[in-house]
Amino acid sequence: METKKITLGTKLLGYQLDNPIIAASGTFGFGYEFAEYYDINILGSISLKGTTKEARYGNPLPRIAECPVGMINAIGLQNPGVERVRTEELSKLKRYYSKKVIANVGGHSFEEYVYVSSAFNDSESVLAVELNVSCPNVKGGGMVFGTDPEILGRLVKEVKKSCTKPLIVKLSPNVKDISEMALSAESNGADGISAINTLLGMRIDLKARKPVISVGKGGYSGKGIFPVALKMVNDIYKSVSIPVIGMGGISDSYDVIEMMMAGATCVMIGTENLINPYACKDIIEELPITMEKLQINNLSEIVGCV
C-alpha cells in the first residue's frame, strides 16, 4: 500500500509538528472557539490572535468588506492585552489543545514589541513568537516596522535581546522587495519568516458613496491573493536560509502542496477558516490523498522544489 509510506510530519524550528497545517493569526481567535466544532488537536499548530501590551477594542464597525475572491478586514488588533492572553487565554486553550502554539505579537513601538514578545518567555505552551510587523490596521505602528528594512532589522535585533523563544517575523506584501525585508530579519537574528500578511485594499459602498470599512481601507485576504503570496514566498525562500511559513489565500490541500513547492516549510490557513469553520480539518484529511495522487511520500522532499 502506497498510503502507508505517506507522512505529514514536519519539523519547524526544532519542534516536531504532526502536519504542516497551522491556523493563521486573526482567523482562529485563541483557538478554543474552534474546539466546539472539531478536535483541534489534529492541527500542526495555532498562531494566536495578535496580542499587544494593553487591551485593545480595535477599529469602529464596519471592519469587514467582502470582495469577489476574498475579503478586506480592518479589525485593528482587538485583543485583551498580553497579561490576560498569557494567563487566561493560554490556560483556557490548554484545556482543548495539548500541543504548542505560536504567540502573535503586535505593537506600536520598539518598547511594546520587546515587552510583549518577552512576556511569553516562560510560557511553556508557546513554541515561537510571531512578530506581526505587517498589520495595516493600526495607526502609527504595525506595518511601518515591516516596510523599511533598516527599521525592521533594528526591531528584530532589539526583540531578540530579550525574547528567548524562537522568533518568526511575519512580513507585509506591501513593500517594494519582500526579499530585502526577509534578509534584514534573518541577518538580525530572526529564526523564521512567515508571509504574506494582507494586501492593502478598499471597497466602496455604492449607495453611501463612501468606503465600506469605517477606517477607509484594510487588509485584503482570501483566495484572490494566493498567486501573489506564492510568488513572494518563493522570492523569500530563494533569499534566506531560515524556514519560511507560507500563507495567503490557501483554501485546499492542492494549495498547500503548491505553497510548499514554492518554498514553505509549513503553511498557515487564514481566511478560509472564516468561510468554512472546518477548513483546517478538511485540508488535513485531504492532504494524504492529494499527496498519493501526486506521488509525494514525504513533504520535506517538495519544499522549494520548484
Partner 1 sequence: MKKEILKVQSNERLTDTIYEMKLSGCSSMLPGQFVELLIPGFSLRRPFSVAEYSKGIITIIYKVTGRGTEEMTAIKKNAKIDTLTGLGRGFSLSGSEHPLLIGGGIGIAPLIYLARVLYEREKSVKILLCGRCKNDLIKREELKKYGEVFYATDDGSCGFKGNALEAAQSLFKQTDHYYACGPMPMLKALAKNNNKGELSLEAHMGCGFGACMGCSIETTEGPKRVCKEGPVFLASELLF
Catalytic residues: 135
Q: At what angle do helices 279-293 and 253-262 cross, to 10 degrees?
A: 70
67 binds partner 1 (CB under 8 A): yes
x-marked contacts with partner 1 along 73-112 as a string, rule CB under 8 A: x-x--x-x--------------------------------
Among 8, 15, 18, 33, binds partner 1 (CB under 8 A): 33
The residue among 162 and 278 lying less far from partner 1, judged by its C-beta, is 278
Question: How many whole angstroms separate alpha carbon 151 and alpha carbon 44?
Answer: 32
The residue among 10 and 221 lying less far from partner 1, judged by its C-beta, is 221
Among 21, 25, 26, 233, binds partner 1 (CB under 8 A): 26
42 binds partner 1 (CB under 8 A): no
Q: How far is CA 263 from CA 165, 209, 249, in A?
A: 23, 42, 16
Among 27, 117, 123, 234, binds partner 1 (CB under 8 A): 27
28 binds partner 1 (CB under 8 A): yes
Cell reading at 49: 490572535
- Smallest gap, in angstroms, from Cβ of residue 279 to partner 1? 11
From 40-48, 88-96, 101-109, 269-277, give the range in contact with partner 1 by CB under 8 A: 269-277
**Are the beta carbons of 124 and 93 closer than 8 angstroms?**
no
- Smallest gap, in angstroms, from Cβ of residue 206 to partner 1? 8
From 6-14, 99-107, 271-279, 284-292, give the range in contact with partner 1 by CB under 8 A: 271-279
Sign of the torsion formed by the C-alpha atoms of 281, 282, 285 and 287: negative
**Are the beta carbons of 213 and 72 closer than 8 angstroms?**
yes
- Smallest gap, in angstroms, from Cβ of residue 195 to partner 1? 20
Question: How many whole angstroms separate alpha carbon 109 and alpha carbon 125?
Answer: 26
Q: DSSP letter string over 100-160?
A: -EEEEE--SSHHHHHHHHHTTTT-TTEEEEEEE---TTSTTSGGGGGT-HHHHHHHHHHHH
Question: How many whole angstroms separate alpha carbon 236 and alpha carbon 229?
Answer: 10
- Smallest gap, in angstroms, from Cβ of residue 45 to partner 1? 16
DSSP assignment, residue 305?
A: -
Question: How many whole angstroms separate alpha carbon 7 and alpha carbon 17?
Answer: 11
Number of residues that bind partner 1 (CB under 8 A): 36
274 binds partner 1 (CB under 8 A): yes
212 binds partner 1 (CB under 8 A): yes
Phi, psi of 33 (to 5 degrees): -55, -35
x-marked contacts with partner 1 along 228-267 as a string, rule CB under 8 A: ----------------------------------------
19 binds partner 1 (CB under 8 A): no
3-class SS at 219?
A: strand
| Residues of the shown chain interacting with partner 1 in the complex, contacts defined by CB under 8 A | 26-29, 33-34, 36-37, 49, 55, 57-58, 61-71, 73, 75, 78, 80, 212, 222-223, 273-278
